[in-house]
Amino acid sequence: MTLLIRNGTIVTEGASFVGDVLCRDGLIVEIGEILEVPADAEVIDAEDKLVFPGFIDPHVHIYLPFMGTFSKDDYVSGSKAALMGGTTTLIEMCCPSRADDPREAIRLWKSKAAGISSCDYTFHMGVTRFDEGTAEVLREIVVEEGITSFKVFLAYKGAFGIEDAELYKTLALAKELGVVVTAHCENADLVAEMQKKLVAEGKTGPEWHEPSRPVTVEAEGCHHLMAFAEMTGAEVYVVHTSCIPAVEAVVAARERGVKAWIETVAPYLILDSSYAELSDFEGAKYVMSPPIRSKEHGDFLWKCLADGIIDTVGTDHAPFDFETQKHMGHPDAEMCVGADLKPTGRAGNFTMIPNGIPSVEERVKLLYNEGVCTRRIDLQTLVRCASTNAAKIFGLYPRKGTIQVGSDADLVVWDPEWSGIISQRTHSMATDYSAFDGYSHLGRPEVVTVRGKVMVRDGKWVGVGGWGEFLHREPKEK
């Protein structure tokens, strides 16, 4: 299988130049100007187009049991949606409950993708308890299952959340193994108390979700994680950072020598807290945790991206239907019907709304339109935050995240002049709504390849299920 992409503007994290990319047997084998065309090559003309390395979403949920229901996407719809948006590699959060066996959990999550996914994939291993046998199990998962990043929750107490002693042991083990620990940073007890208070006061709509988890709560979670990282020497990665004080807490720790990475997600950059305040329960579409903040926080996040303070942009893709699943938190929830609902016998409130916004398909379009086209970020920053940095942090570079000889032929030919409108009617995600419905944008992936195989052509799906491979990773050198 030979592919030649001709005369495109090749964009990497550090350079931009016009040239050709020759791919053979799934790898990039030559880069240069006016390369000779092999007799067996398919030629794609990329003149006046941009050629990016395949994008990596470092934070998605495809299979997710959460709040009594399940996310709507599977790897058929989720990987197709990713590729239609230019994302060629997914890193999914494996999120067992505290009662689940971690070995069984990672094998279950893998089975949901194996032979099904159209794009390449790997996982962060959720650590939701740390008891007598956990260290041995996690060592096995790192070595035998090829998973070299953990995920901890400083939230969702009683479900995914861990206690401080467990946090310390997880970070200490990660340091020993050369594993990165990703973390959802909030203060679970403060959230629980704020939720009780607001609901008792009759403040039950989706607009009260953000006040129940204010920026102070997120910043405290970041301070907390940084203290434990400093004590253990572990490398940490703060997921879905939403606000000014949270970023400042991590930056202060970096200045003390803590090795900490910062991720934000696309909804925080595009939306603001007013969306969760929409009437007629429409605000439930925009409930995620940490919540979407007021506009000044989004503006700050953009500046931090441009300055290199924020390292990656993911999605925290967590797809739940609006009409059924999000309505679990509706005041009349007990009267709602639907396969995903169970009668509660009581009125719903914002604490019962499944958290998450479907966005894996739209991330790069949003970053390009709102970032590059407005000159908030340049093309190199787009590549860094949406591809290269994730590859480097999570042990995939230079196989992924760059355009160089020897790298996987994951490539995106981007049409910068194409204009379109995001719509639930045309997206590939399995949800019944889009958080960005009606959004006009410039630019789209015209051609997308995974290891040299064309999966999207002329902006249309031509891919096959099961092409995606699991990416076995090795621990970092300690």
Sequential pLDDT tens for the chain (478 residues): 899 999 999 999 999 999 999 999 999 999 999 999 999 999 999 999 999 999 999 999 999 998 889 999 999 999 999 999 999 999 999 999 999 999 999 999 999 999 999 999 999 999 999 999 999 999 999 999 999 999 999 998 878 999 999 999 999 999 999 999 999 999 999 999 999 999 999 999 999 999 999 999 999 999 999 999 999 999 999 999 999 999 999 999 999 999 999 999 999 999 999 999 999 999 999 999 999 999 999 999 999 999 999 999 999 999 999 999 999 999 887 544 444 444 444 568 999 999 999 999 999 999 999 999 999 999 999 999 999 999 999 999 999 999 999 999 999 999 999 999 999 999 999 999 999 999 999 999 999 999 999 999 999 999 999 999 999 999 987 6
* Other CB atoms within 10 Å distance of the CB of residue 48: 11
The yes/no answer on whether domain 2-52+401-461 falls in CATH 3.40.50.720 is no
**What pLDDT shows up at residue 306?**
98
- The two tokens of residue 357 are 């916004």
Is it true that the peptide bond before 398 is cis, omega within 30 degrees of 0? yes
**Do the domains 2-52+401-461 and 55-372 sit in the same CATH topology, yes or no?**
no
Q: What is the dihedral of CA 46, 76, 142, 398, to 10 degrees?
A: 0
**HEC per residue, the chain:** CEEEEEEEEEECCCCEEEEEEEEECCEEEEEECCCCCCCCEEEEECCCCEEEECEEEEEECCCCEECCEECCCCHHHHHHHHHHCCEEEEEEEECCCCCCCHHHHHHHHHHHHCCCCCCEEEEEEECCCCCCCHHHHHHHHHHHHCCCEEEEEECCCCCCCCCHHHHHHHHHHHHHHCCEEEEEECCHHHHHHHHHHHHHCCCCCHHHHHHHCCHHHHHHHHHHHHHHHHHHCCCEEECCCCCHHHHHHHHHHHHCCCCEEEEEEHHHHHCCHHHHHCCCCHHHHHCCCCCCCCHHHHHHHHHHHHHCCCCEEECCECCCCCCCCHHHHCCCHHHCCCCCCCCCCCCCCHHHCCCCECCCCCHHHHHHHHHHCCCCCCHHHHHHHHHHHHHHHCCCCCCCCCCCCCCECCEEEEEEEEEEECCCCCCCCCCCCCCCCCCEEEEEEEEEEECCEEEEECCEECCCCCCCCECCCCCCCC
d(CA 423, CA 278): 19
**What pLDDT shows up at residue 478?**
65
The answer to whether the CB of 440 falls within 8 A of the CB of 373 is: no
* Other CB atoms within 10 Å distance of the CB of residue 233: 15
**What pLDDT shows up at residue 66?**
85
- The two tokens of residue 462 are 């031509």
d(CA 192, CA 196): 6
**What pLDDT shows up at residue 15?**
94
**What pLDDT shows up at residue 334?**
56
**What pLDDT shows up at residue 338?**
44
**What pLDDT shows up at residue 336?**
47
Annotation: CATH topology of 55-372: TIM Barrel (3.20.20)
| Domain spans in the chain, listed from the N-terminal domain onward | 2-52+401-461, 55-372
* Other CB atoms within 10 Å distance of the CB of residue 40: 9
